[in-house]
C-alpha cells in the first residue's frame, strides 16, 4: 500500500472518529439556550385609530428580525400575505389579525413597543 493510500485511510478513520464522538455528545447546550426557537403568534388589534397604523408597522419592522416562515402553521400556503392586512373597524378606526413568527425576545420587544404607542392589542402565542 502506498503512502497516499495510508494517509487517506488515516484521514477517513479520523473523520469517522470525530463524527462518532460528536454524535455521542449530549445536546444539553442547545436545549438550555433561551429565546432561540421560532415561535408563532397572532397579533390581534381592534379599534386602532388610523393615525397609529404607521407606528404599529414601524414597531413590527423594528422588532421582528427573524426570517419569515414560508407558511405559518394553520394558514393556507396559497393565502400568504407579505404585509399586514388592515380592515376598517369604524370611523377612523382599523383592525388587523396578523400571523407572525419570531423569537420570544422579539415578541416581548414588540409588545413593549406597541404599549408605548398606546395600541390596544393581544399577541396570542400559538403552540406548534
Cell 406548534 sits on residue: 128
Residue 61's φ and ψ, nearest 5 degrees, are -70, -40
* The predicted structure's pLDDT at residue 31: 41
54-94: per-residue pLDDT in tens? 999 999 999 999 988 777 677 777 776 778 899 999 999 99
| 69 vs 106: CA distance, rounded Å | 15
Q: Which three cell numbers stand for residue 33?
A: 439556550
C-alpha 18, offset from chain centre: 33
pTM of the model: 0.68
Buried b / exposed e across 40-56, counting CB within 10 Å, b at 16+?
A: bbbbebbebeeebbebb
Q: Across the beta sheet with 121-126, what order do the strands follow?
A: 87-90, 93-102, 39-49, 121-126
Q: Does domain 32-126 have CATH number 2.60.40?
A: no
Cell 485511510 sits on residue: 9
Domain ranges of the chain: 32-126
Amino acid at each position: 500500500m502506498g503512502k497516499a493510500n495510508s494517509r487517506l485511510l488515516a484521514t477517513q478513520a479520523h473523520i469517522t472518529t470525530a463524527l462518532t464522538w460528536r454524535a455521542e455528545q449530549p445536546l444539553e447546550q442547545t436545549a438550555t439556550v433561551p429565546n432561540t426557537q421560532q415561535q408563532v403568534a397572532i397579533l390581534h388589534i381592534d379599534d386602532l385609530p388610523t393615525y397609529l397604523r404607521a407606528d404599529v408597522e414601524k414597531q413590527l419592522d423594528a422588532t421582528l428580525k427573524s426570517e419569515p416562515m414560508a407558511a405559518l402553521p394553520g394558514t393556507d400556503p396559497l393565502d400568504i400575505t407579505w404585509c399586514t392586512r388592515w380592515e376598517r373597524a369604524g370611523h377612523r378606526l382599523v383592525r388587523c389579525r396578523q400571523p407572525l413568527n419570531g423569537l420570544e425576545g422579539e415578541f416581548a420587544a414588540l409588545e413593549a413597543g406597541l404599549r408605548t404607542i398606546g395600541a390596544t392589542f393581544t399577541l396570542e402565542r400559538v403552540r406548534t
